[in-house]
Amino acid sequence: MQPGVLSAGIPVLGICYGQQLITQLMGGRVQPGEKGEYGLALLDLAVDDSPLFKGVTNHQQVWMSHKDKVAEPPPGFRVIGTTSTCETGAIENAEKRIYGVQFHPEVVHTTEGMRILSNFLFDICGCDKDWNPGERVELTEQQIRDRVGDRNVFFFVSGGVDSTVAFMLCLDALGSERVTGVYVDTGLMRDAETQFVRDTFAGLGLVRIEDCAEQFLNALEGAREPELKRHIIGEQFVKVQERIIEERGLLNGKWILGQGTIYPDTIESGGTAKAATIKTHHNRVPGIQKLMDAGLIVEPLADYYKDEVRAIGRELGLAPALLNRHPFPGPGLAIRCLCADEDKPVERVPDGYLIPVKSVGVQGDFRTYAPVLAIDAFPTAASRLQDQATELVNRTANVNRVIARVATREGLEHQKVFASTLTHGRIALLREADAIVREMSAESGFDAEVWQFPVILIPVGAGEARDSIVLRPIQSVDGMTADSVSMPDELLHAMAGRLMAIPEIAGVFYDLTHKPPGTIEWE
């Protein structure tokens, strides 16, 4: 942020790090907190006349993700809200119209967050109340035409919501002769996915299917780290793209690459000025970045969140069955199939068992890559073990995720992590387990109740069965934050039963971690 923004006489709302930045730049003091605060907290209003909190109830639930805090607000500011671990939950200088909140009003877990944002936008800034992303179709299509000029667009579609909506916008904006779609079967897709894409786009006759499974799996051989996997996959996409462009004689300066990147993908890849890199999205690897720098990329949805993309898709007349599909990451099953460098035993710790397989988390503005804590308790819907998980992560150093044991062939004390890589066999095992989970959650109606339901394979087991399954159903609005949700007990028992019938599966676990501190995907 340009510090000049703060003296420009315009309203400013700093969120989380933003509140700290305002403090730092305006003469206050920021210091490391003794304890991190990740997850739910209660906000007490310190005053009753702040325009930011107009109509907001005292002692309301807010969502926190920070360790540093404002120790002393800048001169001219007053504290307008506190939590039990943060005396500066919110600050204001009403005269200058500059506000800061340590919590995140933009996430659903902050119960009255929308009211706070409405107060800021409509009362303090005086913005227009009638924002509707569906009405942006025409504008977005004009932006596509401006960006593309007289070139053509070459598009990778994945069968997911984002790339399909972006592709359809380009088709609408430019006409079918100027837009080419290619679906790459990376060998990392879910069961029956390629057929789904074939059926979906058959009517349009516009998508060509490239079978590149061997190419991707060979390139990934030996890769264990999430960032490396994403990097390799992104580069393989670029290779396929280069090959197709060459084969089709498109190297004449007349083409541009279209991508379905949406706003959260760019923030969490460190694409905005201040965001730390949490996960490099495969749409942001160096090969793609080079094309971006050369002005050879069009990303019509880069300013939108998922729910807005769905609204645009509805406006374009896309079928609900397509628009309501759960998100599925571009790198596919590769980032749901965890690998390990060496064999390592599970370790008994006071709160459970430390599983030395690393998963990605997000704590404050930082990405973490840490072991997982397993607790020996069946996650019945009534038990709400998720609340316990939040506490466990906050008080356990170096852990960002908690899972509960649903079923294992041997006790947790006998489990170990096995050295493992991405093999055809492990990907096939994960695909089989994922298909079972999808089938059962579709039949029971559970999949319509959750925003996404990753199924993860971890190299944890005992004896000959060396892999376990983690179930990770979550609720979210935009993928930026998420809640681990409980599953009906009967469904969970039945699902575990079918998964445990696969001889190579050693156990089934349930991820209890909200985001933050754990990301939705494990890698």
- What's the CA dihedral at 12, 18, 19, 22 to 10 degrees? -70
Query: 270 or 488: whose CB is closer to ligand XMP?
Result: 270
Give the whole-angstrom CA distance, residue 384 versus residue 372. 19
**Smallest separation (angstroms) from ligand XMP to the CB of 501:** 27
**Smallest separation (angstroms) from ligand XMP to the CB of 313:** 16
**Smallest separation (angstroms) from ligand XMP to the CB of 55:** 32
DSSP structural state of residue 274: S
Query: 152 or 277: whose CB is closer to ligand XMP?
Result: 277
- Own/partner contacts of 44-47, CB < 8 Å, gap of 24 or more, are 44/81, 44/82, 44/83, 44/89, 45/80, 45/81, 46/78, 46/79, 46/80, 46/81, 46/82, 46/90, 47/78, 47/80
Are 13 and 99 contacting, i.e. CB atoms less than 8 angstroms apart?
yes
For the beta carbon of residue 116, count every other beta carbon within 10 angstroms. 27
Q: Does 452 bind ligand XMP (CB under 6 A)?
A: yes
Query: 88 or 513: whose CB is closer to ligand XMP?
Result: 513
Judged by CB under 6 A, which stretch of 1-9, 278-286, 316-324, 494-502 contacts ligand XMP?
Answer: 278-286
Residues in CB range of 140: below 8 A, 6 or more apart: 169, 173, 300, 301, 312
Q: What are phi and psi of 415, to 5 degrees?
A: -80, 155
Give the whole-angstrom CA distance, residue 382 versus residue 181. 47
Q: Does 513 bind ligand XMP (CB under 6 A)?
A: no
Query: 168 or 520: whose CB is closer to ligand XMP?
Result: 520
Give me the residue label for tokens 């944002």.
Answer: 117
Judged by CB under 6 A, which stretch of 25-33, 121-129, 322-330, 374-382 contacts ligand XMP?
Answer: 322-330
Give me the residue label for tokens 């909506």.
Answer: 165
Q: Does 472 bind ligand XMP (CB under 6 A)?
A: no
**Smallest separation (angstroms) from ligand XMP to the CB of 519:** 3
Query: 28 or 331: whose CB is closer to ligand XMP?
Result: 331
Give the whole-angstrom CA distance, residue 277 versus residue 495. 35
Q: 243-261 burial string, b = 16+ CB within 10 Å, else e?
A: ebbeeeebeeeebbbbbbb
Query: 83 or 283: whose CB is closer to ligand XMP?
Result: 283
**Smallest separation (angstroms) from ligand XMP to the CB of 517:** 11
Question: 16 by DSSP, 3-state: which?
Answer: coil
Query: 105 or 329: whose CB is closer to ligand XMP?
Result: 329
Beta-bridge partners for 65 = 38
Q: Is 16 a catalytic residue?
A: yes
Pairing, β 60-72 against β 344-345: unpaired
**Smallest separation (angstroms) from ligand XMP to the CB of 303:** 17
Q: Is 109 a catalytic residue?
A: no
Q: Does 279 bind ligand XMP (CB under 6 A)?
A: yes
Q: Does 330 bind ligand XMP (CB under 6 A)?
A: yes
Q: Does 268 bind ligand XMP (CB under 6 A)?
A: yes
Q: Does 459 bind ligand XMP (CB under 6 A)?
A: no
**Residues 27-66 vs ligand XMP: string with x where CB under 6 A?**
----------------------------------------
Question: 457 by DSSP, 3-state: which?
Answer: strand
Pick one of 100, 181, 300, 479: the residue that binds ligand XMP (CB under 6 A): 479
Pick one of 171, 201, 515, 517: the residue that binds ligand XMP (CB under 6 A): 515
Q: Does 331 bind ligand XMP (CB under 6 A)?
A: yes
Q: Measuring CA to CA, which residue among 433, 445, 377, 452 is closest to residue 408?
A: 377
CA distances to 7, 19, 24, 76, 506 from 3, in Å: 8, 13, 10, 17, 55
Query: 141 or 268: whose CB is closer to ligand XMP?
Result: 268
> Which residue in 106, 193, 268, 521 is the catalytic one?
106
Q: Measuring CA to CA, which residue among 190, 159, 518, 167 is closest to residue 332?
A: 190
Beta-bridge partners for 416 = 345, 461
Query: 28 or 479: whose CB is closer to ligand XMP?
Result: 479
Q: Does 163 bind ligand XMP (CB under 6 A)?
A: no
Judged by CB under 6 A, which stretch of 134-142, 248-256, 415-423, 513-521 contacts ligand XMP?
Answer: 513-521
> Which residue in 66, 86, 92, 104 is the catalytic one?
104
Beta-bridge partners for 63 = 40
Give me the residue label for tokens 């315009």.
Answer: 10
**Smallest separation (angstroms) from ligand XMP to the CB of 456:** 11
Pick one of 166, 238, 427, 520: the residue that binds ligand XMP (CB under 6 A): 520
Give the containing element (helix H, strand E) for 468: strand 467-471
Site for ligand XMP in 230-249 (CB under 6 A): 230
Q: Is 439 a catalytic residue?
A: no
Q: Does 281 bind ligand XMP (CB under 6 A)?
A: yes
The count of residues interacting with ligand XMP (CB under 6 A) is 15
Q: Measuring CA to CA, which residue among 103, 33, 43, 29 is closest to residue 67?
A: 33
Q: Does 517 bind ligand XMP (CB under 6 A)?
A: no
**Smallest separation (angstroms) from ligand XMP to the CB of 478:** 9
Query: 377 or 477: whose CB is closer to ligand XMP?
Result: 477
Beta-bridge partners for 61 = 42
What amino acid positions are annotated as catalytic residues?
16, 104, 106
* List of residues contacting ligand XMP (CB under 6 A): 230, 268, 279, 281-282, 327, 329-331, 452, 479, 515, 519-521
